Amino acid sequence: MKYSIVYSSRTGNTRQLADALHASLPAEDCVYFGTPAPEALAADRVYVGFWTDKGSCDETVAAFLQSLPAGKEVYLFGTAGFGGSAVYFDKILDAAAANLPAGVRVVGRYMCQGRMPQAVRTRYEAMPDSPRRQAMLDNFDAALSHPDADDLDRLCRAVTAAL
């Protein structure tokens, strides 16, 4: 089966997932690897990676998902700054999948946490002390090590299981 890997990554987290996937899938079946582009549509299955923006996939991926013709298979993967909740990840994946036209089949979904720029922590630090501020600081610090080797491995194993 021919496949493409399409990803959008501002700070490199989602790119790490895309690179791991690229290294683990059979190279001879890959027709495209890179940022959203029409060339990716030459494949039967498209692995689409995004960073989370306002609770959904970023807008370049949203536009790409909307452009997929019926009959394609899609595997969605993404990174988000807030982690620790499968329910939260599912909401983001549902919001991303809502961009898909009818007739495009989702064959798998995966999300993990991704570190955020230091400027975000600085903004939290400037807020008045509260349980919410502390929770955001704790989440920021927990995100710093992600995606880690285990996140990449879990993606590759999930994708292999869906082949």
Residue 97 is encoded by which pair of tokens?
Answer: 């999948």
* Closest CB 103 distance from ligand FMN, rounded Å: 28
* Closest CB 60 distance from ligand FMN, rounded Å: 11
* Closest CB 159 distance from ligand FMN, rounded Å: 18
H or E element in which residue 107 lies: strand 105-113
Site residues, ligand FMN (CB under 6 A): 9-15, 51-55, 79-82, 114, 116
* Closest CB 70 distance from ligand FMN, rounded Å: 28
Alpha carbon distance 14, 87 (integer Å):
20
Q: What are the CA-CA distances from residue 147 to residues 52, 54, 123 (Å)? A: 14, 19, 22
Question: Would you say 15 or 72 has its CB closer to ligand FMN?
Answer: 15
Question: Would you say 44 or 59 has its CB closer to ligand FMN?
Answer: 59
Question: Would you say 120 or 162 has its CB closer to ligand FMN?
Answer: 120
Q: Is there a contact between 77 and 107 (Cβ–Cβ < 8 Å)?
A: no
Residue 155: CB atoms within 10 A of its CB come to 25
Question: Would you say 84 or 103 has its CB closer to ligand FMN?
Answer: 84
